[in-house]
Amino acid sequence: MDIPVVFTLSSLYILAILCCCSQGQSPPYEAECVEGKYPPPSSRRVKEYVVNLDLPGKERWKHVAAEKKQEIKNILASFKKYIYDFGGIAAEIWYLIDLLGPAIVDVLPQPFQDEIRGISDVTGIEIGEVTLYNIFYEIFTVCTSIVAQDSNGTLYHARNLDFGLFMGWDPKNRTWEITELLRPAIVNLDFQRGGKTVFKSVNYAGYVGILTAISPGKFTLTMNERFTLDGGYIGIINLILTGKGTWMGFLTRATMEKAESFKEARAMLTSTQMIAPAYFILAGNTSGQACVITRNREVNGTDTWWMKEAGGWYVLETNYDHWSKPLFVDDRRTPANKCMKKLTQKGVGIPGIFDVLSSRPVLNKLTTYTALMQVNQGHLETWLQYCPDPCFPW
């Protein structure tokens, strides 16, 4: 089997990083704590759309899908090329996704079945591919989430969403192909019933689940991927064999629609069997009400790490269990903690946290956006992020 050139080049670059670290040399970037990065240029602010939950599922996403049709097609075309470059069974799997798409979507819960059908109708993309688009975020994301409390007890919740590792390294521009294609597809969404906001979120257009969201006045939520051997592929097989398990994005969407409080949201996120493990970073509307929920696929083994246990005024999660050391080539946690401590509790606010999330290597080549939330004000703002060289590839 021929090895794709993009994979070979990205692998060589990563091997170079590993060699530097194993020989005690510094990787080709400098950890930093930047200041004065907020606000970014207005051109980087993400546009907001309304999703009307009173409409039938097939009608809800028409305007977003129509406006972002080409962006969604570009993402899937790149992902498809990446799969076909491997040939063999990988290409056959994609063929089966196209062939069995209608049957695959039939096993999803409502309203997600109809919403995905509606997106497929508007974009003209095969329904199996739209379904795949709605589940592969459970497998490939790396992120940094922070909940911090200012000196008055006000909570701020923010996150970087990084996506595209190993998916097409462009040696000329030194970027990840999927990461570059995802940025134009980022949208802010205001989910409404009866003309009133139920919750707000940040999504890649065409994705109906939730990775970043705020229920105004109630709680905020972000999801970070958790890498374990008991991962998403095993969960998918278990779902096929037993019918047990919930897609992470559908669980978070249901939580945002149904939970009326931090307590109810926490109960939903800790008591539902999942297809893939995850970290849920959850914050409420009162001082100290913030935690990281570390989830297995099964409900057993769930760990809740509270802000007061993390140091009192903030809690920070990347993609590693808080009781374990991060992978030495992907230690965003130590620089992020360093920058938070430099910021101090007095500096907590939208500008200060944005600076922390704009500091390399918390900001890296995979970072697509930074979202900033304040629950009491119902505030959500999202900015496209870029990391010019020198910058770590993940």
Query: Exposure of 19 by Cβ count < 10 A (0-12 exposed, 13-18 middle, 19+ buried)?
Result: exposed
Query: Are 278 and 355 part of one and the same domain?
Result: yes
Identify the band that residue 164 occupies on the pLDDT scale cut at 50, 70 and 90.
Answer: confident
Query: Whose structure tokens read 């930047």?
Result: 34
Specify if 275 maps to a domain. yes
| pLDDT(245) > 80 | no
Query: Are 157 and 113 part of one and the same domain?
Result: no
Query: Are 94 and 215 part of one and the same domain?
Result: no
- Residue 362 belongs to domain with CATH number: 3.60.60.10
Is 143 annotated as catalytic? yes
Lowest mean pLDDT among 65-69, 73-77, 162-166, 385-389: 162-166
Residues 344-353 have a mean pLDDT of: 98
Query: Are 104 and 146 part of one and the same domain?
Result: no
Query: Are 187 and 147 part of one and the same domain?
Result: yes
Domain count, the chain: 2
pLDDT at 13: 40
Query: Are 62 and 43 part of one and the same domain?
Result: no
Query: Are 195 and 65 part of one and the same domain?
Result: no
Which of 20, 21, 33, 143 is catalytic? The answer is 143
Query: Are 172 and 250 part of one and the same domain?
Result: yes
Q: What is the mean pLDDT of the chain?
A: 88
Identify the band that residue 263 occupies on the pLDDT scale cut at 50, 70 and 90.
Answer: very high
End-of-domain residue from the set 106, 133, 160: 133
Give 274-331 pLDDT, tens digit per residue.
888 999 999 999 999 999 999 998 898 899 999 999 989 999 999 999 999 998 889 9
Specify if 225 maps to a domain. yes
Give 120-150 pLDDT, tens digit per residue.
999 999 998 899 888 877 666 789 999 999 9
| pLDDT(95) > 80 | no
Query: Are 352 and 331 part of one and the same domain?
Result: yes
pTM value is 0.91
Specify if 389 maps to a domain. no
pLDDT at 229: 62
Query: Are 151 and 200 part of one and the same domain?
Result: yes
162, 394 in Cβ contact below 8 A? yes
pLDDT at 169: 85
Query: Are 91 and 206 part of one and the same domain?
Result: no
Boundaries of domain holding 345: 5-47+141-384
Query: Are 253 and 373 part of one and the same domain?
Result: yes
Query: Whose structure tokens read 């105004």?
Result: 216
Specify if 252 maps to a domain. yes
Identify the band that residue 98 occupies on the pLDDT scale cut at 50, 70 and 90.
Answer: confident
Residues 40-67 have a mean pLDDT of: 98
* Residue 52, strand partner residues: 192
End-of-domain residue from the set 111, 133, 155: 133
